[in-house]
Amino acid sequence: MKSRRSFLKSTGSGLAIAGASLFAPKFLYAAGLSSGTIEASSLETLPGKKPLIKRNYRPVNYETPVEYFDDVITPNDRFFVRWHLTEVPEITPADWRLKIGGESAEHPFELSLEQLKKDFPAVEMTAVCQCSGNRRGLSDPHVAGVEWGYGAMGNARWKGVRLKDVLAKAGIKPDAVEITFDGADGPAIDKTPDFAKSLPLWKALDENVLIAYEMNGEPLPHLNGGPARIIVPGWTATYWVKKIVAINAVAKPLQTFWMNPAYRVPKGMFPTGERFTSQEKENVPTTPITEIVVNSLITNIKDGQRFHRGAPVVVKGLAWDAGYGINLVEVSIDEGKTWQAATLGADQGRFSFRSWQFSFKPTQSGKHVVMAKASNRQGATQTFELIFNPAGYHNNVVQRIAIQVA
């Protein structure tokens, strides 16, 4: 069994994914959290937060308990916290500055937060922010990285300005290939690579990509990237750079640790509508992770929970995908032998969580295995066996919860 000390040592650097073997064995999904993850799980309160599940201290990584997902919108004080580097400075709104430039920008300039709000139209959008490694800790044996359970994600109403409007003011040259992003967070030692990310130019110009300064009607919290961060709806949170201080248009693909080898999956392993082709090479077998895969979560019942025979059992949950739209959630109460459609809640926008609910009356005593499976408008659905990849990304295995009826 992995000790608490060894767990913290293996995850605290944030760089463990670099050494993940491409030849690790395939394994089946573990129904519950594996022993190392359970051992390292504890609730702690960060400034401005309700108690969250601590995954490691340095860098700060805390996840949202499942019971907090009782609404489509995740409140700010219950929203997960994810940082790659240990030094995360608090920046006052008055002191924050954003530099826009790069070799492929015609007119570099700098913005204050007041200018950002005043000079560009405000936009609001509801979108799921999900860590690429969400549910990594459900695998057995472990793969390297933060051993997340179900809660390295959240859904919020984001307010900000369109990135494409800011880039238009800078004047993007025809040779631009990518737009790069750098946050104010920094490493504890010089040898740790700075967390710099990029987007392909076409994605950066998407009308849904924002520079956000508000979250659920409040100023963006410090621990969630305030005063401003990048929002890339439908793509995993690795691109949602927090405490953004520099945006550059560049004529060559960004070459940093966090673009390659980190945050990549084997080519062709997962179905995706949007690829990051400027970061692909013929002799490299991996491609950057991009879109969130279709997924669901049961939020109101737990393994081992007891119910009375003949009494109604209400199962509630959330479903989401990359923005193609959830159109079906099916629930099984007999370990997958038969499936019935759940009732979907109101559509809060294509990038948002979609709530769902299903009720049944158990007629027999004993164990009942409840399962939920989401599908989207493209016909994509969840898997029953984990699609293994060295970094533990895209875990969308159908959830199984065993309840007891007496």
According to DSSP, the residues that pair with 186 across neighbouring strands are 87
Residue 103: pLDDT band by 50, 70, 90 thresholds?
A: very high
Highest average pLDDT, of 19-28, 136-145, 179-188, 231-240, comes from: 231-240
Q: Are 52 and 44 in contact (CB under 8 A)?
A: yes
DSSP state of 273: S
Residue 114 clears pLDDT 90, i.e. is over it: yes
The pLDDT of 140-163, averaged and rounded, is 93
pLDDT given for residue 377 in this prediction: 96
DSSP state of 402: E
Q: Which helix (H) or strand (E) segment is 160 a member of? A: strand 153-162
303/271 same-domain check: no
pLDDT given for residue 37 in this prediction: 52
Residue 76 clears pLDDT 80, i.e. is over it: yes
269/354 same-domain check: no
Going by C-beta distance under 8 Å and a sequence separation of 6 or more, which residues neighbour residue 41? 33, 53, 54, 149
109/34 same-domain check: no
pLDDT given for residue 187 in this prediction: 80
Q: Which residue has the tokens 């009826």?
A: 405
| Percent of all residues in the chain with a pLDDT value above 90, rounded to a whole number | 85
The pLDDT of 321-348, averaged and rounded, is 97
- Looking at residue 398, which CATH number applies to its domain? 2.60.40.650
Tokens of 287: 């491609």
Q: Which residue has the tokens 């987007």?
A: 199
pLDDT given for residue 29 in this prediction: 30
The pLDDT of 378-398, averaged and rounded, is 95
Tokens of 172: 């993007």
- The CA distance from 151 to 405, in Å, is 27
Average pLDDT, the chain: 90
SS3 call for 101 = strand
- The CA distance from 243 to 220, in Å, is 10
66/115 same-domain check: no
- The CA distance from 240 to 224, in Å, is 10
SS3 call for 203 = helix
Whether 280 maps to a domain, the answer reads: yes
48/112 same-domain check: no
269/126 same-domain check: yes
- Looking at residue 239, which CATH number applies to its domain? 3.90.420.10
Q: Is the peptide bond before 121 cis (omega within 30 degrees of 0)?
A: no
| Percent of all residues in the chain with a pLDDT value above 70, rounded to a whole number | 90
The pLDDT of 62-82, averaged and rounded, is 97
Q: Are strands 306-307 and 295-298 parallel, antiparallel or unpaired?
A: unpaired
pLDDT given for residue 31 in this prediction: 39
Residue 72 clears pLDDT 50, i.e. is over it: yes
Residue 46 clears pLDDT 50, i.e. is over it: yes
Tokens of 404: 């007891």
- Region of poorest pLDDT, from 77-91, 140-154, 244-258: 140-154
pLDDT given for residue 11 in this prediction: 32
- The CA distance from 4 to 25, in Å, is 25
- The CA distance from 318 to 298, in Å, is 7
Q: Are 391 and 145 in contact (CB under 8 A)?
A: yes
Whether 264 maps to a domain, the answer reads: yes
The pLDDT of 323-340, averaged and rounded, is 97
The pLDDT of 152-161, averaged and rounded, is 98
Count of the separate structural domains present in the chain: 3
Whether 88 maps to a domain, the answer reads: no
Q: Are 179 and 204 in contact (CB under 8 A)?
A: yes
- The CA distance from 374 to 341, in Å, is 10
Could you list the residue range(s) of the whole structural domain that residue 58 is in?
Answer: 4-82
Whether 52 maps to a domain, the answer reads: yes
283/302 same-domain check: no
The pLDDT of 255-265, averaged and rounded, is 95
Tokens of 253: 């693909």
Phi and psi at residue 150, to the nearest 5°: -85, -10
284/185 same-domain check: yes
- The CA distance from 105 to 327, in Å, is 41
Residue 68 clears pLDDT 70, i.e. is over it: yes
pLDDT given for residue 40 in this prediction: 53
Whether 345 maps to a domain, the answer reads: yes
229/119 same-domain check: yes
Q: Pick the residue with more confidence: 3 or 301? A: 301
Residue 378 clears pLDDT 80, i.e. is over it: yes
Domain final residue, candidates 18, 53, 82: 82
Whether 141 maps to a domain, the answer reads: no
Residue 222 clears pLDDT 90, i.e. is over it: yes
262/355 same-domain check: no
Whether 188 maps to a domain, the answer reads: yes
Whether 314 maps to a domain, the answer reads: yes
DSSP state of 361: -
Residue 282 clears pLDDT 80, i.e. is over it: yes
Domain final residue, candidates 234, 267, 288: 288
pLDDT given for residue 192 in this prediction: 85
Tell me the DSSP string of 334-345. Answer: STTSS-EEPEE-
- Region of poorest pLDDT, from 37-51, 100-114, 254-268, 298-312: 37-51
266/302 same-domain check: no
pLDDT given for residue 73 in this prediction: 98
Nearest-CA neighbor of 345 among 383, 305, 296? 296
Domain final residue, candidates 253, 288, 323: 288
310/212 same-domain check: no
